Chain A
Amino acid sequence: MDAQSDSAEHQRPTGIHLDAAAVAHPAVGGSVAPMGRETVFDCQGLGVRYHGTRALRDVDLQIHSHAVTALIGPSGCGKSTFLRCLNRMNDLIPGAAVDGACLYHGENLYGPDIDAIEVRKRIGMVFQKPNPFPKSIYDNVAFGPRVLGMKDSLDDRVEQALRRAALWDEVKDRLKSGALGLSGGQQQRLCIARALAVEPDVILMDEPCSALDPISTAAIEDLMMTLKNDYTVVIVTHNMQQAARVADITAFFSVDQGETGPRTGVLIEVDATDRIFTKPANERTEAYVTGRFG
Chain B
Amino acid sequence: MNGATRTATAAAQRSVHASLTGHRHRSITATIFVAFIMLSTAVGLISLAVLLFTVLQDGLPYLDPILFTNGPSMDPNIAGARPAILASVLMAVVLVATALPVAIGTAVYLEEFAPKDRWWIRLIELNIQNLAAIPSIIFGILGLAFLVRGLGLGPVLLAGALILGLQMLPTVIIATREALRAVPATVRQGGMALGATRLQVVRREVLPAAIPGIATGSILGLSRAIGETAPLLMVGAATFVSFNPSLLSQYTVLPILIYQWIRLPQAEFQGLAAAAIIVLLVILISMNGIAIWMRNRYERKW
Q: How far does the Cβ of B227 sit from chain A's closest Cβ, in whole Å?
A: 33
Name the contact of A89 in the complex, choosing from B115, B189, B301 (C-beta under 8 A).
B189
The residues in A between 98 and 157 inclusive whose CB is less than 8 angstroms from any CB of B are 117-122, 124-125, 127, 129, 131-135, 143-144, 146-148
B116 adjacent to chain A (CB < 8 Å): yes
In the complex, A120→B187 CA distance in Å? Answer: 15
Give the nearest-CB partner of B199 in chain A. A147
Q: How far does the Cβ of B264 sit from chain A's closest Cβ, in whole Å?
A: 53
Interface centre among B189, B195, B197, B302 (most CB of A within 10 A): B195
Name the contact of B193 in the complex, choosing from A89, A118, A129, A178 (C-beta under 8 A).
A89
Interface segment out of the listed A74-82, A191-199, A265-273? A191-199
Q: How far does the Cβ of A82 sit from chain B's closest Cβ, in whole Å?
A: 16
With a CB–CB cut-off of 8 A, which chain B residues contact A133? 187, 190-191, 205, 209
**Once the chains bind, are A147 and B194 in contact (CB under 8 Å)?**
yes
Q: How far does the Cβ of B58 sit from chain A's closest Cβ, in whole Å?
A: 47
In the complex, A143→B194 CA distance in Å? Answer: 8
**Once the chains bind, are B117 and A94 in contact (CB under 8 Å)?**
yes
Give the nearest-CB partner of B198 in chain A. A92
With a CB–CB cut-off of 8 A, which chain B residues contact A198? 194-195
Asked, given contacts A89-B192, A131-B187, whether A117 binds B197 with beta carbons under 8 Å apart, the answer is yes
**Once the chains bind, are B116 and A144 in contact (CB under 8 Å)?**
no
Interface residue tally of chain B, by bracket?
A: 20 to 34
Name the contact of B302 in the complex, choosing from A89, A129, A180 (C-beta under 8 A).
A180
**Once the chains bind, are A134 and B209 in contact (CB under 8 Å)?**
yes
Interface centre among A122, A134, A198 (most CB of B within 10 A): A134
B282 adjacent to chain A (CB < 8 Å): no
B181 adjacent to chain A (CB < 8 Å): no
**Once the chains bind, are B301 and A178 in contact (CB under 8 Å)?**
yes
In the complex, A131→B205 CA distance in Å? Answer: 12
What string of 1s and 0s marks CB contacts (under 8 Å) between B152-193 and chain A?
A: 000000000000000000000000000000001011011111
Q: How far does the Cβ of A94 sit from chain B's closest Cβ, in whole Å?
A: 6
With a CB–CB cut-off of 8 A, which chain A residues contact B115? 94
A87 adjacent to chain B (CB < 8 Å): yes
What string of 1s and 0s marks CB contacts (under 8 Å) between B207-231 and chain A?
A: 0110000000000000000000000
In the complex, A191→B184 CA distance in Å? Answer: 15
With a CB–CB cut-off of 8 A, which chain B residues contact A147? 191, 194-197, 200, 204
With a CB–CB cut-off of 8 A, which chain B residues contact A124? 193-194
**Once the chains bind, are A127 and B186 in contact (CB under 8 Å)?**
yes
With a CB–CB cut-off of 8 A, which chain A residues contact B195? 117-122, 144, 147-148, 198
Q: How far does the Cβ of A277 sit from chain B's closest Cβ, in whole Å?
A: 30
What string of 1s and 0s marks CB contacts (under 8 Å) between A239-269 and chain B?
A: 0000000000000000000000000000000
With a CB–CB cut-off of 8 A, which chain A residues contact B117? 94-95
Q: How far does the Cβ of A90 sit from chain B's closest Cβ, in whole Å?
A: 11
With a CB–CB cut-off of 8 A, which chain B residues contact A132? 190
Give the nearest-CB partner of B301 in chain A. A178
Q: How far does the Cβ of A174 sit from chain B's closest Cβ, in whole Å?
A: 14
In the complex, A94→B189 CA distance in Å? Answer: 14
**Once the chains bind, are B187 and A195 in contact (CB under 8 Å)?**
no
In the complex, A133→B184 CA distance in Å? Answer: 10
With a CB–CB cut-off of 8 A, which chain A residues contact B186? 127, 129, 131
With a CB–CB cut-off of 8 A, which chain B residues contact A143? 191, 194, 196, 204-205
With a CB–CB cut-off of 8 A, which chain A residues contact B116? 94
Give the nearest-CB partner of B195 in chain A. A121
Q: How far does the Cβ of B207 sit from chain A's closest Cβ, in whole Å?
A: 12
With a CB–CB cut-off of 8 A, which chain B residues contact A148? 194-196
Name the contact of A92 in the complex, choosing from B189, B194, B196 (C-beta under 8 A).
B189
With a CB–CB cut-off of 8 A, which chain A residues contact B204? 143, 146-147
Q: How far does the Cβ of A123 sit from chain B's closest Cβ, in whole Å?
A: 9
In the complex, A117→B195 CA distance in Å? Answer: 5
Give the nearest-CB partner of B206 in chain A. A133
With a CB–CB cut-off of 8 A, which chain A residues contact B208? 134-135
Q: How far does the Cβ of B299 sit from chain A's closest Cβ, in whole Å?
A: 10
With a CB–CB cut-off of 8 A, which chain B residues contact A178? 301-302
In the complex, A129→B192 CA distance in Å? Answer: 16
Asked, given contacts A131-B184, A147-B204, A180-B302, whether A92 binds B192 with beta carbons under 8 Å apart, the answer is yes
With a CB–CB cut-off of 8 A, which chain A residues contact B209? 133-134
In the complex, A92→B188 CA distance in Å? Answer: 10
With a CB–CB cut-off of 8 A, which chain A residues contact B301? 178
**What are the 8 A-B residue pairs with the smallest beta carbon separation, nearest first?**
A121-B195, A131-B186, A125-B193, A144-B194, A120-B195, A147-B196, A131-B190, A134-B302
CB pairs A–B below 8 angstroms (18 shown): A87-B193, A89-B192, A92-B189, A95-B117, A118-B195, A120-B192, A129-B186, A131-B186, A131-B190, A132-B190, A133-B205, A134-B208, A135-B208, A143-B196, A146-B204, A147-B200, A191-B190, A195-B193
Besides A124-B193, A131-B184, 12 other CB < 8 A contacts? A87-B193, A89-B192, A89-B193, A94-B116, A117-B195, A121-B194, A124-B194, A133-B191, A147-B196, A147-B200, A148-B195, A194-B190
